[in-house]
Structure 1
């Protein structure tokens, strides 16, 4: 998580910035002339710091404030909820396919085929024209 949660701290005035671009703007505006344009990438690298684990941070999904150390498991919970939400719901159907679960859509299509007999997904079964003589 420390590779993703970074901050940029100015070495002269201890001002914190969340993005490299913001720090670059700060350095150019407030510390102009202390370094050349070619030195700027090196200075920015020197300002790059990990955010302290005890620092309070907001969850981007629900807005709850918590320490960075708790945020990882909190976000994992949200991601699991999202993953479970997009999975199709299941219907227990012991006879349908040997006791395994079948999705609602598959169970509905199967019952329609069983009810209609000769139609599958709204289409009639193909007719073998060679054997029917048509």
Structure 2
């Protein structure tokens, strides 16, 4: 299974906009932090803008959050960049004459639905501000360990 990094990259971009506010917020600079191309950053920012999570002006490298970080949940970000992406997929082609193949789809569909609901609940209660706070805490730890 090939899992996209668009979601984590979008969270990265949003946190970057807050932590580095007032500095160069060009797609080139942000791409350097994400270690991707500026084109990928611009595409993700387009999705974030379409979802009303950021505000941008054409020709001005100064994107801003459309809401405060404590009002943006990780579920909001997920819906912005991966609206149709499912974490789990049941193989629709199994042998119905086999005990396992004939029942695995029903069993896993139920398990996956519960896991998805739990994940969505966690993402809905985790804000961008919480992620930013954790990033800054981790950075403090790194800086203190080098003293």
> Which interval holds the TM-score relative to the shorter structure?
under 0.3
Larger strand share, 1 or 2 = 1
| Greater relative contact order, per chain length (Cα 8 Å cut-off, separation 6+) | 2
Higher-helix-fraction structure: 2
Q: What is the TM-score with the length of structure 2 in the denominator?
A: 0.21
Tell me the TM-score normalized by structure 1. Answer: 0.22
